[in-house]
Amino acid sequence: MIATQDADHVEPAVALARQGYHLLLEKPMATSEADCERIVDAAEGAGVLLAVCHVLRYTPYSRRLKALVDGGRIGDVVSVEHLEPVGWWHQAHSYVRGNWRREDTSTFMLMAKSCHDLDWLTHLIGRPVERVSSFGGLYEFRAERRPVGAADRCLDCAVEASCPYSAPRIYLPSLKEPDRVWPLSVVTAERSEEGVLAASREGPYGRCVYACDNDVVDHQVVSLEYRGGVTASFTMTAFTPSDFRRTRVFGTRGSIEGDGRSITVHDFVDGGSEVIEVESGAGATADDGHGGECGRWEWFSRVTRRGSSRGDVRHGFGGALLSSVACRANWGNRSRTATTAMTAMAAMTPWSLPRAVASVAGGASRPGRGRSGGVRVRRLPR
């Protein structure tokens, strides 16, 4: 088996599939439709397992929640409300100053951050998606929102003391947590106050968040309709503490509220509630794999030992397709045309959801202030 990621690994992935190796790919598996098709075709032709890492499925919390839903504890699921609280400092670090700030050099926000959640929702609900719409934009981190008196760098800024996105405020406290590697490891190799300040003065992580070249959204809402009329709403927003996802599941006989640490089940028959404490397995951010790394490898090892099947090969692609479709639905918010936003993993889906076609509506306007488009996904005959 092999784990691989990003466009530089397309050729190795294709070559290894042709040699009979099972593939476990990080997202995105490629940054163009053509490269995605090449990997899928190679895996299909060789009959090997091809899966994408969506670790949220494998946390102890997710397994317990899924068991409750599948066991009929709250009857039939009718709707789900799911929040991804990115966190104000995480947005500033990774998606304004950091590596995932631009669509043309990385990918769009739903793919970079939220394809895990869209995959997780489909996994939890257990039905294919039939309609998607999306609204969102870049509200805060742009030049028009720059405070009066702000400088291009935090260390030179007259209003830094009152700015929640101050680089020293975000990074210096990490020095007091020796066991915490990320995010300081990205900023500087010298773990000291001098090292942090030097990086803030010279490196990308000391720039003013209102004077960067970022263009990915800082908030987005995705509405989904699953087969049979089940609905879900997903919200990704920067303007929260960085914390575990929060979910509410509404059923015909009860409801569930979960926050990554505990699950509260409300029973409509007896009017009672039960709180189930669940070991999270790890922290809320990606630096520790969201607590699902071990479970993911256990699953992959198990299915490769028993031999892959069509069902196994489908694993993990749905979230990527939904991310792409939702991003396209939101294009009406942007004045520019995204060149790579829809390419990452968009064509890797012959084994995930039914073949679908999206028609986009909505006019272009300024980022974060305009009309939003919608996408209707209709099933095509095989």
- The tens digit of pLDDT for each residue in 219-275 reads 999 999 999 999 999 999 999 999 999 999 999 999 999 999 999 999 999 999 999
C-alpha 23/C-alpha 304 separation (Å) is 10
pLDDT of residue 261: 92
Average pLDDT over residues 288-300: 50
**Buried-exposed string 294-304: b where 16+ CB fall within 10 A, e elsewhere:** ebbbebbeebb
CA dist 286 and 94 (Å) reads 11
Mean pLDDT of 100-111: 90
pLDDT bracket for residue 301 (50, 70, 90): low
Structure tokens given for 302: 């198990």
Give residue 279's pLDDT band: very low, low, confident or very high (50, 70, 90).
Answer: confident
**110 pLDDT above the threshold of 50:** yes
CB 132 within 8 A of CB 224: yes
**pLDDT, greater one: 185 or 130:** 185
Helix, strand, or coil (residue 207): strand
Please determine, for residue 133, whether its predicted confidence score (pLDDT) is greater than 70: yes
More confident residue, 34 or 165: 165
Q: Higher pLDDT residue, 342 or 247?
A: 247
Report pLDDT for 40. Answer: 82
Provide the mean pLDDT of the chain.
78
Sign of CA dihedral 319, 183, 13, 54: negative
- Calculate what percentage of the chain has a pLDDT beyond 90: 51
Residue type, 196: V
- Lowest mean pLDDT, pick from 163-167, 181-185, 228-232, 378-382: 378-382
| Per-residue confidence (pLDDT) for residue 235, from 0 to 100 | 97
Q: Confidence class of residue 374 from pLDDT cuts 50, 70 and 90?
A: very low
H runs (alpha helix) in the chain: 10-18, 33-46, 60-70, 88-90, 109, 115-125, 167-171, 184-187, 193-202, 293-306, 310-313, 318-329
Tell me the pLDDT tens digit for each residue of 27-53.
Answer: 767 766 678 778 888 888 998 887 777
The residue-averaged pLDDT of 75-86 equals 98
Rounded Cα distance, 227 and 207, in Å? 46
Q: What is the pLDDT of residue 282?
A: 61
Mean pLDDT over residues 6-24, rounded? 82
pLDDT for 111 beyond 60: yes
Q: Which residue has the higher pLDDT, 320 or 189?
A: 189
pLDDT bucket at 8, cuts 50 / 70 / 90: low
What pLDDT is recorded for position 239?
98
Average pLDDT over residues 173-184: 91
Which of residues 74 and 365 earns the better pLDDT score?
Answer: 74
359: enclosing H helix or E strand: strand 356-361
